[in-house]
Structure 1
Amino acid sequence: MSVHEEPGLVDRYGRAHRDLRISLTDRCSLRCTYCMPADGVPWLASSTLLTTDEMVRLARVAVSLGVREVRLTGGEPLLRPDVVDVVGALAALPTPDGPLDLSLTTNALRLPALAAPLRDAGLDRVNISLDTLQRSRFLELTRRDRLADTLAGIEAARAVGFAPIKLNALVMRGVNDDEIVDLVAFAIDRGLEMRFIEHMPLDGGHTWRREEMVTGEEILEAISARFPLEPVGHDGAAPAETFRIAGTTSTVGVIASVTRAFCDRCDRVRLTADGQFRNCLFAHDESDLRSLLRDGADDARLAQAMQACVAQKRPGHGIDSPDFLQPARPMSAIGG
């Protein structure tokens, strides 16, 4: 049977997977406290990282199985030297429904130089991490004095016409929860979309505590105290619960991955920078596609491995389960 005749990436619960997250690197230019220790984490050996050709081949197989959206992540994906070439190669992949929906999540530090080349190469959208508007707090959170560079990156993305541009803020109690309204106002003023994310147990130091997490409900209460909100709901399998700010065209979203889990409609799979295929952000098992590639597997064998991995996907991430265990890999090595 050819790869094009495979039935797709459908799990035991009937969820069809159309969204592939590809991590380009586990390295990052920041050291965010909620992601990794101050001295970082051990980086993947360069020999284990997928080449661009390998990455594009796996993406092509995934497209043949129904993937229609690819998000490039990291670490910080813009640290990959050939990121523009990667985007160009992926943007050229045909699907039965037209071009891939191709986006990228970034800390924006390198966007002033790369926004235009990425746009020209075929990147559709960018999501930018912005947890604070205060320079001193940015330094404390990221251990780098780079807020001005992030803001310059946001402006570069606006200047070349990326749309929509979504800003992602991870909200932490006693750290930046007092800036929720300020971040919404910042986004409204610039025609951007603000997204707030509940803190999940994916830090490299394994220090996450649920009682320290700011819930989606608390985030919405803070926003609605300043801005009247009109529910929009969910856009298909998108994780954010979206609200329109009354009297405007602006929206704000809350990704309550812990308290309002969206596992029942999850359509995501992940490919790590070292070629491991994951069916869930919190999975403990991975499928080693890199070894299959380098051992000479054909596309049909690669498709079978992807399908077998998806077939084992659990009904949910299980954060509320008494036997929940945080994945061994930190977020920087999994890819967002």
Structure 2
Amino acid sequence: MEGLQDKLRRPLQDLRISVTDKCNFRCQYCMPADIFGPDFTFLPKEEILSFEEIERLAVVFSKLGVRKLRITGGEPLLRRHITSLISRLTKIEGIDDIGLTTNGVLLTKEAENLKQAGLKRVNVSLDALHDEIFKKINGRGVSSNVVLRGIEAAIRAGLGVKVNMVVQKDVNESEIIPMAEHFRDMGVTLRFIEFMDVGNTNGWNFQKVVTKKEIFNKLAAHFELEPVDPDYFGEVAKRYRYKDSKTEIGFITSVSESFCGSCTRARISADGKFYTCLFASKGHDLRNILRTYPDEGPLVDKIRSVWERRTDRYSDERTEESVRRKEKIEMSYIGG
């Protein structure tokens, strides 16, 4: 037990902050139409953290070792004046990197403003180039061309861009090679994400998973790939490079090759809950502390206590039975 606890006491370096629970899109992980229909009630404005509260939290987390911030949602670009928040966060001492995860729909309009506010990079979700496949996945009839134009706008603005593709069996496997070819030619990193049992509404089971090994074998039949060493401890993606190219691909393998033991990231939901795992069922309320105590002490004590006692190993321990039994927070609420 002692060895396990030592293994889990990893530094807290990476914080994902959800700024809204709303989205203008569907994806394979969250917000299915039969649940998140037009009458669905999202969080009231007073329950969502203000920019001032998010900034306070980010300052405290930076003092506890966080160096990377990722702004997520829902869709973060739906939050009004989001560039104002990014500008605030860039001024926090100790924060070296600020990124944003988006579905790309609003990037054409916002990319330049995001760059001017100090954002360094975006991760864009795109699960298919083929329009009919993509429209079926997003459930809103949004064309892949809309997202592609957003990616191009981000590149023109000088933002770093990575594209995330969730691969699901019998849904978009046919898009693996076209996506790889397209983004290799653009010089953009594409990351393949195994279809995961995030939340309770995406109809997940093991039979829908296309593993990293399966994806890699498909790619290896078309491209020469060579491994790339991690940039830092706790890096989630397993990285490869197209031979004779600087362009990379990556794999997020939390189903077939878990990485709980090296996890250094935490998440804050839009209403101020602190989660130590993407597959958590319970968060720890920081909003009440923020709104009750003007000084940092109680926040520091709570965050440190939660992180140092974390025992999250869901991906290590996942079984068909545990998947059926465990209630997990929805991706639309906690972010990626």
| TM-score, normalisation: structure 1 | 0.92
Note the C-alpha offset of 1:17: 1.0
- Within the candidate set 130, 140, 145, 2:141 is matched to 145
Give 2:318's aligned residue.
Answer: 320
Give 1:226's aligned residue.
Answer: 222
Return the alpha-carbon distance in structure 1 between the equivalents of residues 62 and 46 of structure 2.
Answer: 26
Q: Secondary structure in 2 aligned to 1:205?
A: coil
Kindly provide the amino acid, as one letter, of the partner of residue 229 in structure 1. Answer: L
Return the alpha-carbon distance in structure 2 between the equivalents of residues 79 and 315 of structure 1.
Answer: 31
Contact 2:15 2:265 in 1 (8 A): yes
Contact 2:280 2:329 in 1 (8 A): no
Aligned residue-pair number: 323
Judged with a 3 Å threshold, the aligned counterparts in structure 2 of structure 1 residues 206 and 108 are, in CA distance, closer, same or farther, namely: closer
Q: Secondary structure in 2 aligned to 1:154?
A: helix
Note the C-alpha offset of 1:205: 1.6
Alignment of 1:214-253 (within 5 A): 214-236=210-232, 237-253=234-250
Kindly provide the amino acid, as one letter, of the partner of residue 162 in structure 1. Answer: L
Return the alpha-carbon distance in structure 2 between the equivalents of residues 89 and 327 of structure 1.
Answer: 35
Give 1:133's aligned residue.
Answer: 129
Give 1:23's aligned residue.
Answer: 18
Contact 1:195 1:252 in 2 (8 A): yes
Give 1:92's aligned residue.
Answer: 91
Q: Secondary structure in 1 aligned to 2:164?
A: strand
Give 2:189's aligned residue.
Answer: 193
Kindly provide the amino acid, as one letter, of the partner of residue 331 in structure 2. Answer: M
- Check if 1:102 corresponds to 2:101: no
Return the alpha-carbon distance in structure 1 between the equivalents of residues 129 and 146 of structure 2.
Answer: 12
Note the C-alpha offset of 1:149: 1.6
Q: Secondary structure in 2 aligned to 1:323?
A: helix
Contact 1:104 1:125 in 2 (8 A): yes
Q: Secondary structure in 2 aligned to 1:94?
A: coil
Give 2:111's aligned residue.
Answer: 115
Task: Report the aligned-residue RMSD.
Answer: 1.7
Judged with a 3 Å threshold, the aligned counterparts in structure 2 of structure 1 residues 11 and 109 are, in CA distance, closer, same or farther, namely: farther
Question: Percent of aligned positions with the same letter in both sequences?
Answer: 38
Give 1:170's aligned residue.
Answer: 166
Contact 1:103 1:123 in 2 (8 A): yes
Note the C-alpha offset of 1:326: 4.0
Alignment of 1:15-54 (within 5 A): 15-39=10-34, 40=36, 42-54=41-53
Return the alpha-carbon distance in structure 2 between the equivalents of residues 137 and 286 of structure 1.
Answer: 35
Note the C-alpha offset of 1:235: 2.9
Give 2:265's aligned residue.
Answer: 268
Return the alpha-carbon distance in structure 1 between the equivalents of residues 24 and 220 of structure 2.
Answer: 34
Note the C-alpha offset of 1:35: 1.6
Deviations 1:110-132 (A, max 9, x none): 11111111101100111101100
**What 5-or-longer segments of structure 2 have no aligned partner?**
none
Note the C-alpha offset of 1:246: 1.0
Give 1:329's aligned residue.
Answer: 329
Note the C-alpha offset of 1:211: 1.6
Give 2:198's aligned residue.
Answer: 202
Q: Secondary structure in 1 aligned to 2:214?
A: helix
Note the C-alpha offset of 1:206: 4.7
| TM-score, normalisation: structure 2 | 0.92
Note the C-alpha offset of 1:197: 0.2
Contact 1:12 1:313 in 2 (8 A): no
Note the C-alpha offset of 1:314: 1.5
**What 5-or-longer segments of structure 1 have no aligned partner?**
1-9
Between stretches 21-30 and 224-233, larger displacement belongs to 224-233
Deviations 1:65-118 (A, max 9, x none): 1100000111111000121011000011112xxx53000010111111111111
Note the C-alpha offset of 1:151: 1.2
Give 1:3's aligned residue.
Answer: none
Alignment of 1:272-311 (within 5 A): 272-311=269-308
Note the C-alpha offset of 1:195: 0.3
